[in-house]
Amino acid sequence: MTSILFFEQLLNGIQFGTMLFLMSAGLTLIFGVMGLINLAHGSFYMIGAFSAALIAGLTGSFWLALLASLSGAAIAGVLIEILIIRRLYRRDHLDQVLATFALILLLSEGVRWCFGAFPLYLDIPENLNGTLPILDDIIYSKYRLFIIFMGLLIATGLYILITKTRLGVRIRAGQNDRQMISALGVDISKLYTIVFALGASLAGLAGAMIGAIQSVEVGMGEPILILAFVVIVIGGIGSIKGALIGSILVGVTDTIGRIFLPELLKIFMEPANATSVGSSIGSMLIYILMALILIIKPSGLFGKT
C-alpha cells in the first residue's frame, strides 16, 4: 500500500516539478540574458490561465485554450517589455524589484477589473479525463501524465532551441557578453523582446495547464512565482539545466514531504501532534532544502561563481 502511495506521490511531485520548470526556465533565461529580476513573471502565469479560460468559454476547445494561453501571455509579454521592462535593464536590482512589484499590482488589479473577483474554471478535455493503469496495480490520472509529457516535451524543445538554432546561439552569446553581440550586429533589443516573450509564454502555458486542475483566479501566480525563485536559487541563476533539476527536486521534496513527514513523525509522537507539526514542517521543507544547498554552494548547484 505505502509503495503505491509513494509512487503516486512521486509522480505528483514530478508533475508539479515540470510545471515549476516552465516558470523557472523563463525566469532564469530572462535573468541570464538581460540581467533582470522579474517579479511579474507570476502575472504571465495568471494572464495565460485567464486567456485560456476566456477562449475555452468561447469555443469550448481545450486545445485552442492552450494555444490562447501561449499567445495571450506572449502578446502581454511583448507589450510590457516594450512599454516598461525595456527601461529597466540598465537599472540596479532594487529598481527592477520595485518596478516589477508595481507591475504585479497593476496586472492583478487589471485582470480583476476585466474578469471580476470570482474564480473561473477550465475543464479538462474528455479524452484526458480519467485514469490510466501504469505498471501492475498503479493507476494514475491521465491529465497529470499529460502535464508531465508536455513538460518534458518543452524541456527538450528548449534544449534544441538553445543548443541547435541560431536564436539559441544568440541567447547564449547574450548570456556571455551583451556588448559584444550587439557590436557584432545582432539587434539586441529585438532579441531581448523575443526572450522575454518566450519566458512569458512558457509561464502562460503553465498557468493554463495548472488552471485546469485548480481554479483560475487573480493572485494564482505569486505562490508559484516564489517557488520558482527557490528553484532558480537552488539550480543556479541563469542555468536552464539548473532550473530543470531544481524544479524536479523542489516538486518532489514538497509533495513527498507534505504527505510523508506527518506519517514519519507519528512513529515517535502523538498522532494529533504529529499531523500538525508534520504538515507545518512539510510546508517549510523546500526552504530548508534551499538553505542547506546554499550553505554548501552559495551560487546554487549549477551557478557561475
Partner 1 sequence: MIVEKIFNKWILVFLFLIPVLGFIFEEPYYITLTTKVVILGIAGIGLNLALGYCGLISFGHAAFFGLGGYVTGILSFHALNSELMFSWPFVTSGSSEMLVIWPIVILSSAFLALIIGLLSLRTTGVYFIMITLAFAQMLYFFAISWPNYGGEDGLSIYMRNSLPMINTMDPLTFYLICLCWLLIVIFISAKLINSSFGMAFQAIKQNEERVKSVGIETFKVKLLVFVISGIITGLAGSLYTDLNRFISPSVLNWQMSGEIMVFVILGGIARLYGPLVGAAFFIVLEQTLGGYTENWQFWLGLILILEILYVRTGILSLFEKKLKYEK
Cβ proximity to partner 1: between 17 and 236 the closer is: 236
Cβ proximity to partner 1: between 53 and 237 the closer is: 237
Minimum separation from the CB atom of position 235 to partner 1 (A) = 12
Minimum separation from the CB atom of position 283 to partner 1 (A) = 4
Minimum separation from the CB atom of position 129 to partner 1 (A) = 31
Residue 269 CA, distance from chain mean position: 36
Minimum separation from the CB atom of position 249 to partner 1 (A) = 14
Contact positions toward partner 1, by CB under 8 A?
A: 31, 37, 84, 87, 91, 93-95, 97-99, 101-110, 112-113, 222, 226, 229-230, 232-233, 237, 276, 279-280, 282-284, 287-288, 290-291, 294-295, 298-300
Cβ proximity to partner 1: between 31 and 62 the closer is: 31
- Quick one: which of 288, 283, 246, 239 has its CA closest to 262? 283
Minimum separation from the CB atom of position 18 to partner 1 (A) = 21
Minimum separation from the CB atom of position 80 to partner 1 (A) = 10
Cβ proximity to partner 1: between 9 and 299 the closer is: 299
Cβ proximity to partner 1: between 66 and 290 the closer is: 290
Q: Per the structure block, which three cell numbers stand in for 147?
A: 502535464
Minimum separation from the CB atom of position 103 to partner 1 (A) = 7
Cβ proximity to partner 1: between 130 and 223 the closer is: 223
Three-state SS annotation for the chain: CHHHHHHHHHHHHHHHHHHHHHHHHHHHHHHHHHCCCCCCHHHHHHHHHHHHHHHHHHHCCHHHHHHHHHHHHHHHHHHHHHHCHHHHCCCCHHHHHHHHHHHHHHHHHHHHHHHCCCCECCCCCHHHCCEEEECCCEEEEHHHHHHHHHHHHHHHHHHHHHHHCHHHHHHHHHHHCHHHHHHCCCCHHHHHHHHHHHHHHHHHHHHHHHHHHCCECCCCHHHHHHHHHHHHHHHCCCCHHHHHHHHHHHHHHHHHHHHHHHHHHCCCCCHHHHHHHHHHHHHHHHHHHHHHHHHHCCCCCCCCC
Which residues are 140's β-sheet partners? 132
Cβ proximity to partner 1: between 33 and 107 the closer is: 107
In this structure, are residues 89 and 34 in contact, taking their beta carbons and an 8 Å threshold?
Answer: yes
Minimum separation from the CB atom of position 127 to partner 1 (A) = 36
Cβ proximity to partner 1: between 67 and 269 the closer is: 269
CA distance 52 to 260: 34
- Quick one: which of 243, 249, 239, 199 has its CA closest to 10? 249
Cβ proximity to partner 1: between 184 and 294 the closer is: 294
Minimum separation from the CB atom of position 256 to partner 1 (A) = 16
